[in-house]
Structure 1
Amino acid sequence: DEKAHTASITMNISEGDIFYIGRIEVIGNTKTLDKVIRREIRFNEGERFNGKLLKRSYERINNLNFFETVELIPKPHIETKTIDIDVKVKEKATGFLSVGGGYSTVDKLVGIIDLTQANLFGTGRYIKLKAELGGSSSFYELSYRDPWFLDKPISMTLSAYKTQRDFISYDRNATGGSIGFGKRFWEYWSAGATYRFERATVENVSDSASNIVKDQIGTKTTSSITGSITRDSRDSYIDPTRGTRHSLVLTYAGIGGDNYFVKGLIDSAWFLPVGKTTISLRGRIGYIKGLFGHEIPLYERFYVGGIYTIRGLGFGEGGPRDETGEVIGGTTEVILNAEYIFPVFEEAKLKGVVFLDAGRAYDDSEDFLSDIRYTAGGGIRWLSPFGPVRIEYGFNLSPKEDEESGKIEFAFGSFF
Structure 2
Amino acid sequence: MTLKRALCRASAFLFLFISAVCTVVPSGAAAQDYTFSSFSIDGNLRVDSATIMTYMGIAQGQTLSAGELNAAYQNLVGSGLFESVEINPRGNTLGVKVVEYPTINEISIEGNKRIKDDALFTVVRSQPRLVFNPTVAEQDAASLVEAYEIGGRLAATVTPRIIRRSENRVDLVFEVTEGQTVDIERLTFVGNRAYSDTRLRRLLGTKQAGIFRTFVKSDTFVADRIEYDKQVLTEFYTARGFVDFEAVSVTSELSRERDGIFVTFRIKEGQQFSFGNLTVSSEFANIDPATYQRLIKIKSGKDFSPARIEAAIIRMENKALKDGHDFVRVDPQIVRNDRTRTLDVEFALVRGPRIFIERIDIEGNTTTLDRVVRQQFRAVEGDPFNPREIAQSAERVRALGYFEDAEVNTREGSTSDNVIVDVDVVETTTGSLNLGVAYSTNDGPGLNLGYTQTNLLGRGQTFSFNISTVSDENSVNVAFSEPYLYGRDLRFDIDLGRITTSNTTQQYDTTRDTISPSIDFPVSERGRLGLRYRFLDTSLYNSSEDNSRLVNADVGERSDNVLGYFYTFDSRRSKIDEDYSYVLRFGQNFGYIDDDPFMRATLLAGAETNALDGLITLRAIVEAGSYTVYNGGKSRITDRYSQTTGKMRGFENFGTGPRDLNAVNQDSLGGNLFSVLRLEADFPIGLPEEYGITAGLFFDVGSIWGLDDTAGGPTDAACPVVDCTVDDAFHLRSVVGLAVYWNTPLGPLRFNFTKAIKKEAYDVEQPFELTVTSKF
* Structure-2-length-normalised TM-score: 0.45
Correspondence for 1:93: 429
Question: What is the alpha-carbon distance in structure 1 between the residues aligned to residue 525 and residue 518 of structure 2?
Answer: 21
Question: What is the alpha-carbon distance in structure 2 between the residues aligned to residue 72 and residue 351 of structure 1?
Answer: 38
Aligned partner (choices 172, 180, 183) of residue 521 of structure 2? 183
Question: What is the alpha-carbon distance in structure 1 between the residues aligned to residue 682 and residue 472 of structure 2?
Answer: 33
Q: State whether residues 407 and 423 of structure 2, in contact with CA within 8 Å, keep that contact through their aligned partners in structure 1.
A: yes
Q: State whether residues 600 and 627 of structure 2, in contact with CA within 8 Å, keep that contact through their aligned partners in structure 1.
A: yes
Correspondence for 2:447: 111
Letter in 1 for 2:633: H
Correspondence for 2:483: 147
Question: What is the alpha-carbon distance in structure 1 between the residues aligned to residue 610 and residue 406 of structure 2?
Answer: 21
- 1:14 to partner: Cα distance: 8.8
Secondary structure of the corresponding residue to residue 398 of structure 1: strand
Aligned partner (choices 620, 636, 639) of residue 297 of structure 1? 636
Secondary structure of the corresponding residue to residue 298 of structure 1: coil
Aligned partner (choices 713, 733, 739) of residue 371 of structure 1? 733
Question: What is the alpha-carbon distance in structure 1 between the residues aligned to residue 637 and residue 391 of structure 2?
Answer: 46
Q: State whether residues 360 and 373 of structure 1, in contact with CA within 8 Å, keep that contact through their aligned partners in structure 2.
A: no
> Highest CA radius of gyration, 1 or 2?
2
Correspondence for 1:6: none
Query: In 2 relative to 1, CA 192–96 (structure 1 residues): closer, same or farther, beyond 3 Å?
Result: same
Query: In 2 relative to 1, CA 213–130 (structure 1 residues): closer, same or farther, beyond 3 Å?
Result: same
Q: State whether residues 302 and 333 of structure 1, in contact with CA within 8 Å, keep that contact through their aligned partners in structure 2.
A: yes
Q: State whether residues 681 and 698 of structure 2, in contact with CA within 8 Å, keep that contact through their aligned partners in structure 1.
A: no
Letter in 2 for 1:330: G
Question: What is the alpha-carbon distance in structure 1 between the residues aligned to residue 681 and residue 398 of structure 2?
Answer: 24
- 1:380 to partner: Cα distance: 4.5
Correspondence for 1:395: 753
Q: What are the Cα deviations for residues 187-243 of structure 1, in whole angstroms up to 9, with x where unaligned?
A: 222111111112211111112211221111111112211211112231589xx9953
Q: Are 2:666 and 1:356 aligned?
A: no
Question: What is the alpha-carbon distance in structure 2 between the residues aligned to residue 235 and residue 370 of structure 1?
Answer: 35
Secondary structure of the corresponding residue to residue 162 of structure 1: strand
Question: What is the alpha-carbon distance in structure 2 between the residues aligned to residue 16 and residue 347 of structure 1?
Answer: 48
More divergent stretch after superposition (334-343 vs 174-183): 334-343
Question: What is the alpha-carbon distance in structure 2 between the residues aligned to residue 378 and residue 99 of structure 1?
Answer: 25
More divergent stretch after superposition (273-282 vs 122-131): 273-282
Aligned partner (choices 560, 570, 575) of residue 222 of structure 1? 560
Q: State whether residues 494 and 515 of structure 2, in contact with CA within 8 Å, keep that contact through their aligned partners in structure 1.
A: yes
Determine which structure has greater relative contact order: mean sequence separation of CA pairs < 8 Å that are 6+ residues apart, divided by chain length.
1
- 1:13 to partner: Cα distance: 10
| Structure 1 residues 130-279: aligned runs within 5 Å | 130-167=466-503, 168=505, 169-235=507-573, 243-254=581-592, 260-273=597-610, 275=613, 278-279=617-618
Q: What are the Cα deviations for residues 167-197 of structure 1, in whole angstroms up to 9, with x where unaligned?
A: 2221111222122222223322211111111
- 1:371 to partner: Cα distance: 2.7
Q: State whether residues 21 and 44 of structure 1, in contact with CA within 8 Å, keep that contact through their aligned partners in structure 2.
A: no
Correspondence for 2:670: 329
- 1:273 to partner: Cα distance: 4.9
Q: State whether residues 25 and 86 of structure 1, in contact with CA within 8 Å, keep that contact through their aligned partners in structure 2.
A: yes
Question: What is the alpha-carbon distance in structure 2 between the residues aligned to residue 398 and residue 297 of structure 1?
Answer: 29
Query: In 2 relative to 1, CA 296–73 (structure 1 residues): closer, same or farther, beyond 3 Å?
Result: farther
Secondary structure of the corresponding residue to residue 373 of structure 2: helix
In structure 1, stretches of 5+ residues that fail to align are 1-10
Write 1 or 2 for the structure with the bigger share of strand: 1
Question: What is the alpha-carbon distance in structure 1 between the residues aligned to residue 535 and residue 699 of structure 2?
Answer: 33
Question: What is the alpha-carbon distance in structure 2 between the residues aligned to residue 44 and residue 382 of structure 1?
Answer: 46
- 1:263 to partner: Cα distance: 0.9
Correspondence for 2:393: 57
Query: In 2 relative to 1, CA 371–305 (structure 1 residues): closer, same or farther, beyond 3 Å?
Result: same
Question: What is the alpha-carbon distance in structure 2 between the residues aligned to residue 98 and residue 259 of structure 1?
Answer: 43
Letter in 1 for 2:495: S
Question: What is the alpha-carbon distance in structure 2 between the residues aligned to residue 13 and residue 290 of structure 1?
Answer: 56
Correspondence for 2:229: none
Correspondence for 2:73: none
Question: What is the alpha-carbon distance in structure 2 between the residues aligned to residue 390 and residue 65 of structure 1?
Answer: 23
CA RMSD after TM alignment: 3.9
- 1:370 to partner: Cα distance: 2.3
Q: State whether residues 489 and 521 of structure 2, in contact with CA within 8 Å, keep that contact through their aligned partners in structure 1.
A: yes
Query: In 2 relative to 1, CA 103–84 (structure 1 residues): closer, same or farther, beyond 3 Å?
Result: same
Letter in 2 for 1:102: A
Query: In 2 relative to 1, CA 106–404 (structure 1 residues): closer, same or farther, beyond 3 Å?
Result: closer
Correspondence for 1:18: 352
Correspondence for 2:624: 285
Aligned partner (choices 370, 373, 379) of residue 34 of structure 1? 370
Question: What is the alpha-carbon distance in structure 2 between the residues aligned to residue 410 and residue 295 of structure 1?
Answer: 39
Query: In 2 relative to 1, CA 225–312 (structure 1 residues): closer, same or farther, beyond 3 Å?
Result: same
Query: In 2 relative to 1, CA 183–402 (structure 1 residues): closer, same or farther, beyond 3 Å?
Result: closer
Question: What is the alpha-carbon distance in structure 1 between the residues aligned to residue 676 and residue 745 of structure 2?
Answer: 25
Question: What is the alpha-carbon distance in structure 2 between the residues aligned to residue 320 and residue 222 of structure 1?
Answer: 25
Q: What are the Cα deviations for residues 297-348 of structure 1, in whole angstroms up to 9, with x where unaligned?
A: 2222222332x33344322334333324433222222233344457999999
Question: What is the alpha-carbon distance in structure 1 between the residues aligned to residue 406 and residue 680 of structure 2?
Answer: 28
Q: State whether residues 42 and 56 of structure 1, in contact with CA within 8 Å, keep that contact through their aligned partners in structure 2.
A: no
- 1:69 to partner: Cα distance: 5.1
* Structure-1-length-normalised TM-score: 0.79
Q: State whether residues 280 and 339 of structure 1, in contact with CA within 8 Å, keep that contact through their aligned partners in structure 2.
A: yes
Letter in 1 for 2:566: S
- 1:47 to partner: Cα distance: 4.0
Question: What is the alpha-carbon distance in structure 2 between the residues aligned to residue 186 and residue 142 of structure 1?
Answer: 30
- 1:282 to partner: Cα distance: 2.4
Q: State whether residues 105 and 314 of structure 1, in contact with CA within 8 Å, keep that contact through their aligned partners in structure 2.
A: no
Secondary structure of the corresponding residue to residue 209 of structure 1: coil
Question: What is the alpha-carbon distance in structure 2 between the residues aligned to residue 244 and residue 368 of structure 1?
Answer: 28
Correspondence for 2:208: none
Question: What is the alpha-carbon distance in structure 1 between the residues aligned to residue 572 and residue 481 of structure 2?
Answer: 21
Question: What is the alpha-carbon distance in structure 2 between the residues aligned to residue 383 and residue 291 of structure 1?
Answer: 52
Q: State whether residues 318 and 373 of structure 1, in contact with CA within 8 Å, keep that contact through their aligned partners in structure 2.
A: no
Q: What are the Cα deviations for residues 255-298 of structure 1, in whole angstroms up to 9, with x where unaligned?
A: x7577421111112223355556544322121111222222122
Write 1 or 2 for the structure with the bigger share of helix: 2
More divergent stretch after superposition (52-61 vs 92-101): 52-61
Secondary structure of the corresponding residue to residue 159 of structure 1: strand
How many residues are aligned here?
393
Question: What is the alpha-carbon distance in structure 2 between the residues aligned to residue 55 and residue 363 of structure 1?
Answer: 51
Q: State whether residues 267 and 285 of structure 1, in contact with CA within 8 Å, keep that contact through their aligned partners in structure 2.
A: yes
Question: What is the alpha-carbon distance in structure 1 between the residues aligned to residue 425 and residue 523 of structure 2?
Answer: 26
Correspondence for 2:127: none
Question: What is the alpha-carbon distance in structure 2 between the residues aligned to residue 101 and residue 241 of structure 1?
Answer: 37
More divergent stretch after superposition (119-128 vs 318-327): 318-327
